Copies of this chain bind each other. A is one copy, B any other.
Amino acid sequence: MQESNSTTLDTNAKSKPQTNTPTQFEFDIKTTDPNSKARLCTLQTPHGAIETPIFMPVGTHATVKGILPSQLEEIKAQIILANTYHLYLRPGADLIEQAGGLHAFMNWNHPILTDSGGFQFFSLSDTLKLDDEGVSFNSIVDGSKHYWTPEKNMHIQNQLGADIIMQLDQCTPYPCEKKDVAIAVDRSAAWAKRCRAAQQNPNQALFAIVQGGVFLDLRLASVEHLLKIDSQSNFEGFALGGYSVGEPHELMFESLELVTDHLPKDRPRYLMGVGNPSTLVKAVAAGIDMFDCVLPTRNARNGTLYTSQGKINIKRKEFAEDDSPLDPACSCYTCRTFSRAYLRHLFQNDEPLAMRLASLHNLQYYLDLVRGAREALLNGSFSGYYKEFYEALDRGKDEGLGRA
């Protein structure tokens, strides 16, 4: 990639899209990188605007593990993700609706996205029965039986009240026979259509989900299906699902670029469940706008921390007497306040503050990463940002940043 000297040149940006997207979900492309497909955009929502590229901290049960809403504000999280499958089972969508919706329930007055539960069926349920009409499953909480149609799923997500909701989809594993992936593609498209018809709440954006596994032709077929539906009634965004399920990263990037090229430029693109920092930066360059992943919080709980100089495990003996901050380049509360020695001490004693401070830092790292991308895009220096990131990664060597 070449460093761009232009701070204003906007070669790829389109004029304001002519769609029937409700005005509260207006999507604007501010600028694009001339040397990649990276772009700087804003998406309006009823709870405020999101600047993309953005990372969404995962709050499965209407809480980002161990982190207060006020701390999410401090680290400038713009939008968080919650999970329909888990919240439907416990505490229940009726209860959350009665509490005034997810925003009120968890005291987060900024944008929320709910995943539909499609991925949770795939990853959690061993009692799943799925056909074209819908999906029956047993609760992982109490074994009780449940049945969801796309329409029912939309109703539940309406009750939860997130700003952005996801269509019900069928995710396939890796590896998976092509004929089974093809069935999932067709079914997901059919469900996208039914979700679009069922979801009429003007305060909620509906994102369609592209499936197709690692099969380029099936990915393109999925896009084609969704665009046909979209031509009748717009989706407010498109997601790329069924990645990061075990396939080599290279395979993902092969189809990712292709899919992204075929998606409408005038709608946000969300790469679901991805990923580690090095994947994330590469995906930004491929034109992805939104990300979520449990890695920063899950790794934090194990003492694996992202730093500007690579990934470290703070529990290692070498940090026992290290009075320096976790990452001198980081401005988070953890790095401003405590030493590596103290963090290690907390982990050694299984103190709950350990995971709190570590999660806060890792989330700040991810949010700084996408903030860096946005600033670079704004300044016309995305190529430099990209190069510097991977050079730092190389310096990190086997502790390389986010190399899964």
Contact = CB atoms under 8 A, between A and B. Distances in A.
Given A320-B91, A342-B105, A342-B106, A63 B351 contact: yes
A351 B61 contact: yes
A114 to B, nearest CB: 16
Interface stretch (A154-162, A219-227, A333-341): A333-341
A37 interface: no
A345 interface: yes
A144 interface: no
A5 interface: no
B353 A355 contact: no
B68 A353 contact: yes
A69 B336 CA distance: 13
A102 to B, nearest CB: 11
Contacts of A351: 61, 63, 65-66
A212 B106 CA distance: 51
A15 interface: no
Interface string A342-366: 1011101101110110000000000
A251 B196 CA distance: 71
Contacts of A392: none
A195 interface: no
B341 A107 contact: no
A314 to B, nearest CB: 13
A106 B86 CA distance: 36
Nearest to A355: B352
Copies of this protein, total:
2
A107 B339 CA distance: 9
A205 to B, nearest CB: 25
A62 B338 CA distance: 12
A371 to B, nearest CB: 23
Interface in A57-98: 61-63, 65-70, 86, 90-91, 95, 98
A355 B68 CA distance: 12
Contact of A320 (B95, B106, B320, B339): B95
B352 A90 contact: no
Given A90-B348, A90-B349, A321-B98, A337 B66 contact: no
A132 interface: no
A128 interface: no
Interface of A: 61-63, 65-70, 86, 90-91, 95, 98-99, 105-107, 320-321, 323, 333, 337-339, 341-342, 344-346, 348-349, 351-353, 355-356
12 contacts: A62-B345, A63-B353, A66-B352, A66-B356, A67-B353, A69-B337, A91-B348, A95-B320, A95-B321, A98-B323, A106-B342, A352-B356
Given A91-B341, A107-B338, 14 more contacts: A61-B351, A66-B353, A68-B333, A68-B353, A70-B333, A91-B344, A91-B345, A91-B348, A98-B323, A99-B339, A106-B342, A107-B337, A107-B342, A352-B355
